[in-house]
Chains A and B, each alone.
Chain A
Amino acid sequence: MGTKEKQSVSQTKRDWENNTLKETLDKSPERRERFITTSSRPIARIYTPIDIADFNYEEHLGFPGQYPYTRGVYPTMYRGRLWTMRMFSGFGTAEQTNTRFRYLLEQGQTGLSVAFHLPTIQGYDSDDPMSKGEIGVCGVAVDSLADMEILFSHIPLNQVTTSMTINAPAAVLLCFYIAAAEKQGVSSTQIGGTIQNDILKEYQAQKTWIFPPDPSMRIITDILQFCTKKVPRWNTISISGYHIREAGATAVQEVAFTLANGLAYVQAGVDAGLKVDDFAPRLSFFFDSHLDLFEEIAKFRVARRVWAREIQDRFKAKNPRSYLLRFHTQTAGVSLTAQQPENNIVRTTIEALAAILGGTQSLHTNSMDEAWALPTEKAATIALRTQQILAHESGVANTIDPLGGSYFIEALTNEMEEETYRYFDRIEKLGGVVEAIKKGFFQREISDSAFRFQREIEEKERIIVGVNEYLTDDQLEIPVLKIDPEVERTQLARLQKTRKTRNNQKVDQLLSQLQRAAEGTDNLIPHILAAVREYATVGEICNALRDVYGEYQEPIIF
């Protein structure tokens, strides 16, 4: 915008404020002193060209599929192909989850996403004392390749892609998947999918770590190396802001910490001798979509722009695929209320809309009953239908980045981008991501934001329908999923059978070889895969590594 035009708009705005606006405010003041987003960001009354005075279309936005990718990573976006509707599911035994998977595929879902039970996530077998009460409760019980074969039976692994939410033991579950595919006659070069494998955010927010940060980073670079050669269609890390946000972070903290983690992984890969263009294209992201529609949309745009710039400037990547921030989104679990649960369908719809307007590549919509338990089939179906209605009925998928050029959205995008860089500077000053974790920096930032959010609710600066306003005395009337205690018996029996029928001498030998590799510098993944093929369990493999690396102890901050 030219200087003359800027002055003119500024003058008109001042006139408006002094006359039209003032007259109204004198008669009836606004509802609040301060209007804030979900992240407590103050929002102005109106946005005009003055708020994006230095706006340069080609530099800041460009075109979809072109640097800096603000408007989207692909040239046709949803006009070419809709986002992948990928519902996260898993509970009980492998048989039960396999049935749910096949049901979801029949309902039009286009990719799978596995929720494992907590023992698998923590690298324990179902018969470990630590697993008591948790078998099949929070996700599907998977101890060994035997469970994985059942989990994917009648699902051709050369045709579907699968995302696995697994971090500390990610290498083991990747090997389970490779071995399960081999049993179907599908080679590792044909399979596609994602492991979360994002350990940094575990220390910061999700808290399901096993080993200390340094060996964990070594395992991750081993995976990067292995997959680059052997599993070329695999997304090796899903760099996740979701858990950071759910733990209480603001939108800017989510995007800043996630991108900082992503850059730390790229640096680790480069330091391990990999070429950035060989592995950066297989990194993907996973964000939260919260209720504040515009702030979320701006966040996704910031993420794309900053990632493209940093990968190009810092790492001198040449392959444009390295610049693309491709991401999965899940609607905000933390926004679901236990009170009047049906209202959660509406919340999820708004959040899904934000993700779509923000250009997500895949989406999970939460079910209305998740403040009470894992979703029932009916609740999960409504959540999937929500996406289908948005895709086919709302018209939002017809054009790319429909809010691009909005004074508000562009101002917000610029503002959040600046704040992201301020966080990068602070993390840098602390010695980088791993050092900042050891100092408790992220944990403290997140915990402060979570507490502020709660205080705003209690002081009614923030209204949550059904929680601190519009309350009813109605009793809960939705059915809640229960896990049958039979699951535990079935799982323990299968694990026992696996241990009996395999070649235990061979398993022991392969586990010792793995330990020797862990003590040295050999890539661990081929050793893990060899053990997995002989039905070594996730607990046995993780315990072998625990013996070598020890377990992480977190500093307590609240």
Chain B
Amino acid sequence: MVNIKNLSYSNYTGLDGHDRGAKVVARALRDAGFEVIYTGLRQTPEQIAETALQEDVDVVGLSILSGAHMRLFPEIMQLLKEREMADVLVIAGGIIPEDDFEPLKKLGIKAIFGPGTPTGEIVDFIRKHTK
């Protein structure tokens, strides 16, 4: 067991149906010993923040391929803050143009894992950045 109590791997993709990447990552994290709550498709920002709170997670993973990230991620970050979960590690993946990396990091999203990222890199990152 790793010292991570809980991990929520939310797949907020707006209206998107692409779940291959999210599922592969969720499974790799589970295999690495994390407890993974995979919320399934089409979660609203409210649902994501609420699940994170209810499940008392250490990490929230967001997957989005539709291009709506600049509209939806700020809202999720705000809702987490309102629930006093600003210290939860938030990471993202999907189809996100490089120009958007900086503004997303300013919002507090700690890492963006684009296409081609080895799952081991995500596992290592989470271990390093959680207690």
A-side residues, CB < 8 A to B, are 118-119, 121-122, 124, 130-134, 137-138, 202, 206-208, 246-248, 334, 336-339, 371-374, 447, 450-451, 454, 457-458, 464, 466-468, 476, 480, 483, 554, 556, 558
Contacts and interface: CB of A to CB of B under 8 A. Distances in A.
A140 to B, nearest CB: 13
A122 B42 CA distance: 11
Contacts of B30: 558
Chain A interface SS verdict (over half): loop
Interface stretch (B21-29, B50-58, B77-85): B21-29
Contacts of B17: 202, 206-208
Contacts, number: 99
A450 B24 contact: yes
B14 interface: yes
Contacts of A130: 15, 42, 44
A480 B22 CA distance: 24
A546 to B, nearest CB: 14
12 contacts: A134-B14, A134-B66, A137-B67, A202-B17, A208-B15, A208-B17, A248-B24, A371-B95, A372-B95, A450-B23, A468-B116, A556-B38
Interface of B: 14-20, 22-24, 26-28, 30, 38, 40-42, 44, 66-68, 70-72, 95, 97-99, 114-116, 118-120
B49 to A, nearest CB: 15
Contact of B15 (A124, A337, A451): A124
B68 A137 contact: yes
Among B20, B42, B70, the most chain A Cβ lie within 10 Å of the Cβ of B20
Given A133-B68, A454-B119, A119 B95 contact: no
B24 A454 contact: yes
A438 to B, nearest CB: 16
Contacts of A131: 15
B20 A137 contact: no
B120 A118 contact: no
Among B68, B98, B120, the most chain A Cβ lie within 10 Å of the Cβ of B68
A207 B19 contact: yes
Q: What are the nearest 4 A-B pairs in CB distance?
A: A133-B71, A207-B17, A133-B68, A118-B15
B38 to A, nearest CB: 5
A371 B114 CA distance: 9
A534 to B, nearest CB: 26
Given A138-B16, A464-B116, A558-B22, 10 more contacts: A124-B15, A130-B15, A134-B68, A207-B17, A208-B15, A246-B20, A338-B114, A372-B95, A476-B98, A554-B40
A245 to B, nearest CB: 10
Contacts of B27: 447, 451, 558
Contacts of A371: 95, 114-115
Contacts of A121: 15
Nearest to B71: A133
A138 B66 contact: yes
Contact of A118 (B14, B98, B99): B14
A556 B18 CA distance: 14
Contacts of B114: 338, 371
A480 B97 contact: yes
B118 A483 contact: no
Nearest to A334: B20
B38 A133 contact: no
A132 B72 contact: yes
